[in-house]
Amino acid sequence: MEIEIDEMRDVLMGRLPPPIEVGVMTLYEVADAFFARICDITIEIQRAEREGAVSRGSRLYKFRTGELRTMAELTKAAATLGSRRLAAEQLKFEQETRGRESV
């Protein structure tokens, strides 16, 4: 899981190429998919905690409450940035379209 999280972080930080390329929507789509995967991992660890397979001081517990939680925050911030980029592109498109219509 640590390797998977590291690879996700490298993609969001621009150190690795994204797994998909959909233009201006890339950051939003990738961050959203990463966030879903992080939630999936979190649920699995929490289930193991509830069932008694993972104790509070264990490595897995610390991973969930530390790196995984921080990665969730990072992916949310990246999705927000991706959303703002989409909104900016939409505004730009609308302005260009209105400009052509007034000519």
Angle at 25 between CA 22 and CA 26, to 5 degrees: 60
Do the Cβ atoms of 86 and 25 come closer than 8 Å? yes
Residue 39 dihedral angles phi and psi, to the nearest 5°: -65, -40
pLDDT band at 53 (very low <50, low <70, confident <90, very high): very high
Do the Cβ atoms of 48 and 54 come closer than 8 Å? yes
Predicted local confidence at residue 16, as pLDDT: 98
pTM: 0.88
Amino acid at 75: T
Residue 102 pLDDT > 90, yes or no? no
Residue 96 pLDDT > 90, yes or no? no
Helix (H) or strand (E) holding 2: helix 2-12
Predicted local confidence at residue 59, as pLDDT: 97
- Per-residue pLDDT reduced to its tens digit, 14-38: 999 999 999 999 999 999 999 999 9
Do the Cβ atoms of 46 and 79 come closer than 8 Å? no
Quickly list H helices, the chain.
2-12, 26-50, 59-63, 69-101
Q: Is 78 helix (H, G, I), strand (E, B) or coil?
A: helix
Residue 103 pLDDT > 70, yes or no? no
| Percent of the chain whose predicted confidence (pLDDT) is above 70 | 97
Average confidence (pLDDT) over 62-81: 97
